[in-house]
Structure 1
Amino acid sequence: MEKEVALQEYMKHALPSGLPSALPSALPSALPSALPSAVPSAVPSAVPSAVPYPGTSRPHNLYAKFYGTPPVPTPATTILATATPATATPATATPATATPATATPATATPATATPALQSEEWYQGFTAPPSASRVRTTASESSSRPLSFYLEGKMAANERERSMLYHFVDNVLRLVFPILDLHKDGPSRAREILVSLDTNKSYYHCCLSVSAIHLKTIKKNRGKKVDKDIMRHRYAAVSELCKALNSDSGHDTILDATLAMIFFHCSVGAPDDCLPDIPWNEHFTAVANLVTKLGLDANPYMIIPFSMSLSTWIDILGATILGKSPQFAHTYRTKHLSGVSSGLRELMGCDDRIMYLISEIACLDTLKSEGRLDDHGVCHHITALTAQIDHAERAVDSTLENSLSASGTVQADKLTKNMTSIFRVAARIYLYSLLPGFEPDQQNIIGLVDSVTEILQYIPTGPHGFDRSLVWPMLITGVCSTSASTFRVILAQRSNALGECSDFGSFGRMYKVLQEVWKHSEDASAVIYSDPSLISSSSALRYNQAPLPSPCIDTIGRRIKKQPIHWRDVMKGRGWNYLLL
């Protein structure tokens, strides 16, 4: 009974039934003719700052519905870089005909080899617990130690938990933040995670659940026992959240644990995972509530914690998956106008300005889908956002360079520049897909898809590569590719190069969505007949004359294109509530 009350309290505090509406009642008929020269322009204020999720009056026993009531086991700020405001006024471009500038590739060999930065053998099973003895080692030996070396032995309650804990820190963590690990904040972030494992019980159980999921998806530990591990720790994580909410304290630790439940699971979960779980967008409703309670969105100029950078990443790209406006779109718009970074480039590889523009495109997508803009208004906004993407492209050096040094080490700056180029082209494709009468076989769309294919040559592939950090642009490019596109061939090759890593996480789910979308789009035409009576059954005719020869179908039929199925409708039809980051 006490657990049921705790779950109800979690629902009441962390999952409100709805968010206040902040949509304007009307939209201006035209955009301003001139944009300020001191800062990069954004889409006009007519784009809503945030479109709230539909009201969801959920029963208080939602968590009990998903998890049941198993016994709960006895559990044993960095200053971010500031973006420089742009100073030039972007020129207006017509999206239907304008082709974005193509980056000039350097002469370096495309980066397709496995980086030497992470040369250890890919994990093939449980990690043996490290020896308890702590002998003196040299500095080079210390740098090669696994993270589990620094864990306290008392942290895990038993040997099985200890094995899953070591597996998480030594094998799962390197899957979830590959870009962050390249930058100077990588080691400090790892230390913060180790501290959270020791001090945040909900975070601890979440990580053990994710570790068990990964052990299951790499096909080494399948069966009821690992499923019980997943569900036991998943339920324990939620129960600890309930205790924290009842005490009305430690909201920052609650935020960290809730974000871990969203992000870690989408990094390792299998596409066909059928175990009961709370949908990621339900968790993010709690995240948005906690961010507001902590005041992290109130001042866009404050030094934000890592949790807010992660929230921004999930909010913007997650909104495009749902077809909704980001929860904090107004904050991102203010940051874009002011040239303030959210730390996204160092976290996930894409420049903050491009991510802010993707947020604006998601807002426009929502306005169009809700019927709040006519075709003229949609085209007007697309023209303005095209100018913004053009300006963002001109503001940086877009020359493609090999991100691997001569010694095989990944150069973070070159890698993130190449990744930003892919996100920028994918943002154009996403924007142009909102045009009335959009078709993937339009020449400018084919050119953009080919551009992504070309830039992919400069991204290291394989198990230690960075394809898993490009799930969103690959999704947007893939759904707009034609059956003859080279992109599909290259994507299949890179998926094979990933090996078992391509079978789980966001990459595996993204590829499964693309294959389903392509299957629906294969039959792009069907035969209809202008006069059905011409091919009616001869037995129905009663004439005193010889039967006429059957007409040739080619002479009476005409081919028309079938209505394409949107990729979101494909996901909805299959019941796939994926977060594809």
Structure 2
Amino acid sequence: MFRLIQTYPTARDAACMLSALHITCMQTPSDSSAQASNAVSTTYKRLEETLLHQSHYTEGDAMAGLHVVSTFLFSGGRGPWDLFLDIAIKFVSSVLNNPKYYGPEDVLKHCSETTRFIIKTTMWFDVLASVTTQQVPRFLSVYRQLFGRSGAYVGEGVSSPEISMLPVMGCENHIVLAIAEISDLACWKESHTRRNSLSVPQLVERGIEIERTYLSPDSPYATLGVSSDSAFGLGLNAHHLNPGTDEATGGAIDLEILQRRRLTNEIFRASARVYLHTVLSGENPSCPEIMHGVAATIHALRQVPTDSPKVNRDVIRSVVFGICICGCLTDDRGQRAFLTKMLQSQQGESVGNVAEVQRLMEKVWERREQTQNGGPPVNWRDVMRESKELLLLV
């Protein structure tokens, strides 16, 4: 980032804007915070004028776009973040289509570390954004190439470090692909429903295949292990492990990072199953598979240590997607109270989208109580759209 800030004005402006926003959020009202707030507004307008009217984007522009997306996340997660994510997506597309590379795997293995970070971050935003936009992920075919075949693995059950999403996002490759495939299935279902041509057996068959392949304990990926901390998945105690090596840097990795990745990954896996069964069975909290998925996600959330504030904060802020979808899909008051408490525990820093997620969940609960005596299930994405601004669940 430092090199890009020095080289590209857009990257510098976006980093300064993010910093000014952080100052505004963390300080009590004062002359300096008002000055920082004005800096955010002025810089945003300049970036808007510069970035949204270009046809070709540089590495610095892509990083600037991701920083602007982060400013929206800092401010609650709503707003035209998709316009700036699209800038990063266009840059990543240009890199992936560069004829000097043989394909996406070759790109990630041989591009610079900065470009690799931009690619992986953009992919992650692309996948999670698809949940709320209800659009097919832009790089779905790339995810299938990278994460859906044995070529993504080297040695015996070890992922090529340049390809692994775990160090950057805390989520294993096959779970990233699962969420992308579920979004694709949701779009397929919606398209056929509109044309009155939906085949329910085909829908269920595709959904079961996603669950069996990527999300079940006996998944072919579950035993391959795509991370240096795969021993956690085999039930080994952290005290029996050596610190290990980080895939991204090749340096020593401590047990706190391993613990954080294990917890985050399991929460994403369980909540992805909830997402899948809402596509298969609708937004029905009484559906047995949805109830089981919500319970499994909450069980995983309960494993997050409360006596380690840093691990707790890092994990909970990383899994807002899972908390939101489970909160919207449960009628159990105890589960609702637990999820609400988890979000409230993160609101002391005045940044992020957890407060907005809590408001969405409470609105869904209120709407469901109003329709208990009949009416269609409450779709949380429809409730979210009532504000005219999509919520980014990252």
Q: TM-score, normalised by structure 2?
A: 0.77
Deviations 1:530-581 (A, max 9, x none): xxxxxxxxxxxxxxxxxxxxxxxxxxxxxxx332221111111122322111
- The 5 Å alignment of 1:206-221 reads 206-218=14-26, 220-221=28-29
- The 5 Å alignment of 1:136-215 reads 193-215=1-23
Q: For residue 364 of structure 1, what is the aligned residue in structure 2? A: 185
2:346 is the counterpart of 1:511:
no
In structure 2, what residue type is equivalent to 1:508? A
- The 5 Å alignment of 1:255-270 reads 255-262=62-69, 264-270=70-76
Q: For residue 312 of structure 1, what is the aligned residue in structure 2? A: 123
Going from structure 1 to structure 2, the CA distance change for 1:525 and 1:270 (only over 3 Å counts) comes to: closer
Correspondence for 2:44 among 234, 245, 249: 234
1:326 and 1:241 map into 2 onto residues whose CA distance is 22
Q: For residue 578 of structure 1, what is the aligned residue in structure 2? A: 391
Shift, 1:429, TM fit? 0.8
In structure 1, what residue type is equivalent to 2:124? W
Q: For residue 332 of structure 2, what is the aligned residue in structure 1? A: 483
Counterpart contact for 2:95–2:107, Cα < 8 Å = no
Counterpart contact for 1:483–1:522, Cα < 8 Å = no
In structure 2, what residue type is equivalent to 1:468? R
> RMSD over aligned Cα, in angstroms?
3.0
2:91 is the counterpart of 1:285:
no
Q: Which runs of 5+ in 2 are unaligned?
A: 109-115, 153-159, 226-231, 241-253
1:233 and 1:517 map into 2 onto residues whose CA distance is 35
Residue 346 of structure 2 aligns to a residue in which SS? Answer: helix
Q: For residue 268 of structure 2, what is the aligned residue in structure 1? A: 423
In structure 1, what residue type is equivalent to 2:106? M
- The 5 Å alignment of 1:341-490 reads 342-371=163-192, 373-388=198-213, 389-390=215-216, 391=219, 392-393=221-222, 395=224, 398=233, 411-436=256-281, 439-461=284-306, 464=310, 465=313, 466-484=315-333, 486-490=334-338
Count of paired positions: 342
Residue 579 of structure 1 aligns to a residue in which SS? Answer: coil
1:470 and 1:492 map into 2 onto residues whose CA distance is 14
1:490 and 1:215 map into 2 onto residues whose CA distance is 31
Correspondence for 1:520 among 361, 367, 370: 367
Shift, 1:498, TM fit? 2.5
In structure 2, what residue type is equivalent to 1:514? M
Going from structure 1 to structure 2, the CA distance change for 1:499 and 1:579 (only over 3 Å counts) comes to: closer
Shift, 1:239, TM fit? 4.6
Deviations 1:117-145 (A, max 9, x none): xxxxxxxxxxxxxxxxxxxxxxxxxxxxx
Going from structure 1 to structure 2, the CA distance change for 1:400 and 1:507 (only over 3 Å counts) comes to: farther
Q: For residue 134 of structure 2, what is the aligned residue in structure 1? A: 323
Going from structure 1 to structure 2, the CA distance change for 1:338 and 1:300 (only over 3 Å counts) comes to: farther
How many percent of aligned residue pairs carry the same amino acid? 19
2:107 and 2:43 map into 1 onto residues whose CA distance is 33
Q: For residue 148 of structure 2, what is the aligned residue in structure 1? A: 337
Shift, 1:456, TM fit? 1.2
Residue 29 of structure 2 aligns to a residue in which SS? Answer: coil
Counterpart contact for 1:217–1:270, Cα < 8 Å = no
Going from structure 1 to structure 2, the CA distance change for 1:491 and 1:410 (only over 3 Å counts) comes to: farther
Rg larger in structure: 1
Higher RCO, 1 or 2 (CA under 8 Å, sep at least 6)? 1
Shift, 1:227, TM fit? 3.4
Going from structure 1 to structure 2, the CA distance change for 1:204 and 1:438 (only over 3 Å counts) comes to: closer
1:253 and 1:328 map into 2 onto residues whose CA distance is 21
Q: For residue 247 of structure 2, what is the aligned residue in structure 1? A: none
Shift, 1:329, TM fit? 0.3
2:317 and 2:236 map into 1 onto residues whose CA distance is 20
Counterpart contact for 2:17–2:43, Cα < 8 Å = yes
- The 5 Å alignment of 1:105-124 reads none
Counterpart contact for 1:344–1:350, Cα < 8 Å = yes
Q: Which runs of 5+ in 1 are unaligned?
A: 1-192, 527-560
Q: For residue 246 of structure 2, what is the aligned residue in structure 1? A: none
Q: For residue 382 of structure 2, what is the aligned residue in structure 1? A: 569
Going from structure 1 to structure 2, the CA distance change for 1:195 and 1:460 (only over 3 Å counts) comes to: farther
Counterpart contact for 2:283–2:378, Cα < 8 Å = no
1:221 and 1:416 map into 2 onto residues whose CA distance is 37
Shift, 1:403, TM fit? 7.2
Q: TM-score, normalised by structure 1?
A: 0.54
Shift, 1:489, TM fit? 2.1
Name the structure with the higher helix share: 2
